[in-house]
């Protein structure tokens, strides 16, 4: 094989995207572990559940479809397949049946058991790479076990902190964060990081919670949820405004009863005449 045809593994490619590549990378569990045994304890009830051994087992088949589909207004809202098709579309990726697919580099923030990561991998072509990042060892173990046959693009999983993304600036063509922004202890810091790692012209998509009405009782319930379970319920314009204030353009939103899908594009470089 000529040197130009030597295949660089998804792991090596992912290590090449890091701000501070570890001297001795630990991928013994099938994912690149950047947290190690010294990882901090989960800061909330919601996070503890995600790191348990039980929830990851039922997450993809039961918890995710039932919980998310109800929150999206089942049977009127989009089901999981429609949600994933919209994610690929809004991120500028291809659909699984398309013959031409971009060789994009994509980040799936808080990938859980890799359900969305695999759906994104089905929208990138040869040479593409989808990196799924999560803090939970139990979720990542499921993601690694289900990795085979993800799609055309390669997949690599990383154990890391979504609120302090370990990647270099402007690394990804697309960033996706589904079902997790409401769980982060610092959602706006996490959002800053997602925008930072996006290349100019790259696209970001977020599926998160939505407070349907601005009534005081609704705010109060949201505050109780945040304090008791570490679950933030975002206002109707809160996430779109956060994207706009970070310089994203073409910001769009789909509203569901208790969730929202929000996307935007990082400003492309200015063209000089």
Ligand X SMILES: C[S@@+](CC[C@H](N)C(=O)[O-])C[C@H]1O[C@@H](n2cnc3c(N)ncnc32)[C@H](O)[C@@H]1O
Query: In angstroms, what is the minimal distance from the CB of 20 to ligand X?
Result: 17
Query: In angstroms, what is the minimal distance from the CB of 135 to ligand X?
Result: 3
For residue 32 the two structure tokens come to 């690149």
Comparison of 115 and 240: residue with beta carbon closer to ligand X: 115
Comparison of 5 and 132: residue with beta carbon closer to ligand X: 132
Closest CA to 176 of 136, 118, 241, 232: 118
Query: In angstroms, what is the minimal distance from the CB of 112 to ligand X?
Result: 3
Comparison of 124 and 135: residue with beta carbon closer to ligand X: 135
The answer to whether 107 and 133 are in contact (CB under 8 A) is yes
Comparison of 154 and 178: residue with beta carbon closer to ligand X: 178
Query: In angstroms, what is the minimal distance from the CB of 99 to ligand X?
Result: 28
Comparison of 64 and 147: residue with beta carbon closer to ligand X: 64
Q: State how far the Cα of 44 lies from the Cα of 231, in Å rounded to an integer.
A: 8
Q: State how far the Cα of 259 lies from the Cα of 197, in Å rounded to an integer.
A: 25
Query: In angstroms, what is the minimal distance from the CB of 161 to ligand X?
Result: 5
Number of other residues whose CB lies within 10 A of the CB of residue 14? 28
Comparison of 31 and 184: residue with beta carbon closer to ligand X: 184
Query: In angstroms, what is the minimal distance from the CB of 140 to ligand X?
Result: 8
Query: In angstroms, what is the minimal distance from the CB of 202 to ligand X?
Result: 19
Q: Where are the alpha helices (DSSP H) in 122-253?
A: 137-145, 187-196, 216-229, 238-245
Number of other residues whose CB lies within 10 A of the CB of residue 10? 18
Residue 233, CA distances (Å) to 114, 121, 218, 236 in order: 24, 29, 9, 9
Query: In angstroms, what is the minimal distance from the CB of 271 to ligand X?
Result: 35
Comparison of 87 and 129: residue with beta carbon closer to ligand X: 87
The answer to whether 132 and 114 are in contact (CB under 8 A) is yes
Q: Which residues contact 10 (CB under 8 A, 6 or more apart)?
A: 129, 154, 155, 156
Comparison of 89 and 201: residue with beta carbon closer to ligand X: 89
Closest CA to 96 of 105, 87, 106, 107: 87
Residues at the site binding ligand X, with contacts judged by CB under 6 A? 47, 50, 64, 110-112, 115-116, 134-136, 139, 161-163, 178-180, 183-184
Closest CA to 201 of 243, 252, 251, 248: 248
């Amino acid at each position: 094989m000529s040197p130009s045809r030597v295949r660089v593994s998804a792991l090596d490619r992912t290590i090449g995207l890091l701000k501070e590549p570890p001297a001795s990378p630990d991928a013994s569990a099938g994912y690149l572990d950047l947290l190690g045994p010294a990882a901090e304890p989960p800061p909330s009830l919601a996070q503890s559940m995600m790191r348990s051994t039980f929830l990851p087992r039922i997450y993809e088949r039961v918890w995710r479809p039932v919980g998310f589909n109800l929150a999206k207004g089942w049977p009127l809202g989009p089901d999981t397949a429609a949600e994933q098709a919209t994610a690929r579309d809004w991120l500028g990726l291809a659909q699984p049946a398309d013959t031409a697919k971009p060789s994009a580099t994509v980040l799936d923030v808080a990938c859980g058991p890799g359900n969305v990561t695999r759906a994104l991998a089905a929208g990138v072509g040869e040479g593409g790479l989808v990196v799924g990042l999560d803090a939970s060892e139990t979720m990542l173990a499921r993601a690694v076990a289900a990795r085979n046959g993800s799609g055309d693009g390669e997949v690599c999983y990383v154990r890391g902190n979504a609120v302090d993304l370990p990647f270099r600036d402007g690394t990804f063509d697309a960033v996706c964060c589904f079902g997790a922004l409401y769980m982060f202890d610092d959602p706006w810091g996490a959002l800053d990081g997602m925008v930072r790692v996006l290349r100019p012209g790259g696209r970001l998509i977020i599926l998160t919670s939505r407070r349907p009405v601005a009534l005081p009782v609704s705010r109060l319930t949201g505050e109780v949820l945040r304090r008791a379970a570490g679950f933030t319920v975002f206002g109707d314009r809160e996430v779109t405004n956060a994207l706009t204030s970070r310089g994203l353009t073409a910001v769009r939103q789909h509203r569901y009863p208790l969730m929202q899908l929000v996307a935007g594009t990082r400003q492309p470089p200015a063209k000089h005449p």
